[in-house]
């Protein structure tokens, strides 16, 4: 890529974590409703209830039993014990490049959404939708509030992909005939970041897990 002045010192650093939460859509829905719905959710999802218990909340039965904010609750609910034994998603230069882009807000997925051009067909639209979900699946623009994305202790969730979506996007990055906008500011940036993202997705597939995107200030 071309050399650019790196003025991103104050920008967040971005990471991609394992995300094992098949009940995420239901969890987001019940967190926006009432305590009775959340209680039923815990009853219907004993694996998530167990993960909460393993973090020191003995026998959680309702939302009031859990003192964490929604963002931290979502993060904990998405972590299996097995995930702690797996290596991080991505490594080396790929992980470093996706951590902070030397331009603008430093977000590599924002860069892809701005400068990667997908074909006007079903696969292209789905590919763009999945990249957008990884970028902002927890955002205020989707949910109307920031309680899923912003939490205490610096928790900042951006978006996610479940395992089947990881598999789809990994295939689409390689098979969809996407192009690059003519005004891309970093020479080769889109293709580099798309390849780095593909490595993240490949590692997630090997671990049979989804992907969670976070930022760290």
Q: How confident is the model at residue 164 (pLDDT cuts 50, 70, 90)?
A: very high
pTM summary value: 0.91
Q: How confident is the model at residue 9 (pLDDT cuts 50, 70, 90)?
A: low
DSSP bridge pairs for 117: 179
Highest mean pLDDT among 6-15, 41-50, 83-92, 112-121: 112-121
- The per-residue pLDDT of the chain, averaged, comes to 90
| Phi-psi domain of 92 (left: phi exceeds 0; alpha: psi -120 through 50; beta: other) | left
Overall size of the chain counted in residues:
217
Q: Torsions phi, psi of 152, nearest 5?
A: -70, 165
pLDDT of residue 86: 80
The mean pLDDT of 146-170, rounded to a whole number, is 96
Q: Torsions phi, psi of 50, nearest 5?
A: -65, -40
Alpha carbons 194 and 118: distance in angstroms, whole number: 12
pLDDT of residue 8: 44
The mean pLDDT of 164-190, rounded to a whole number, is 96
Contacts by residues 62-68 (CB-CB < 8 Å, ≥ 24 positions apart): 62/35, 62/38, 63/31, 63/35, 63/38, 63/39, 64/35, 68/151, 68/152
* Whether the predicted pLDDT of 7 surpasses 80: no
pLDDT of residue 176: 97
Assess contact for 18 and 83: CB atoms under 8 A.
yes
């Amino acid at each position: 890529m071309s050399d650019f002045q790196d003025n991103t010192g104050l920008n967040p650093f971005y990471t991609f974590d394992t995300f094992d939460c098949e009940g995420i859509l239901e969890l987001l829905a019940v967190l926006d409703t009432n305590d009775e719905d959340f209680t039923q959710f815990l009853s219907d999802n004993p694996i998530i209830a167990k993960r909460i218990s393993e973090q020191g909340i003995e026998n959680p039965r309702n939302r009031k039993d859990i003192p964490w904010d929604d963002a931290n609750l979502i993060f904990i609910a998405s972590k299996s014990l097995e995930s702690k034994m797996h290596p991080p998603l991505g490594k080396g230069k790929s992980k470093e490049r996706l951590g902070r882009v030397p331009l603008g807000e430093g977000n590599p997925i924002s860069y892809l959404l701005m400068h990667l051009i997908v074909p006007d067909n079903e696969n292209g639209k789905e590919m763009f939708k999945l990249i957008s979900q990884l970028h902002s699946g927890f955002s205020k623009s989707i949910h109307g509030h920031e309680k899923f994305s912003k939490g205490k202790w610096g928790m900042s969730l951006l978006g996610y992909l479940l395992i089947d979506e990881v598999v789809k996007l990994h295939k689409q990055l390689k098979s969809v005939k996407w192009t690059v906008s003519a005004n891309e500011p970093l020479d080769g940036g889109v293709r580099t970041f798309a390849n780095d993202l593909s490595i993240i997705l490949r590692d997630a597939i090997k671990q049979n897990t989804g992907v969670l995107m976070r930022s760290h200030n």
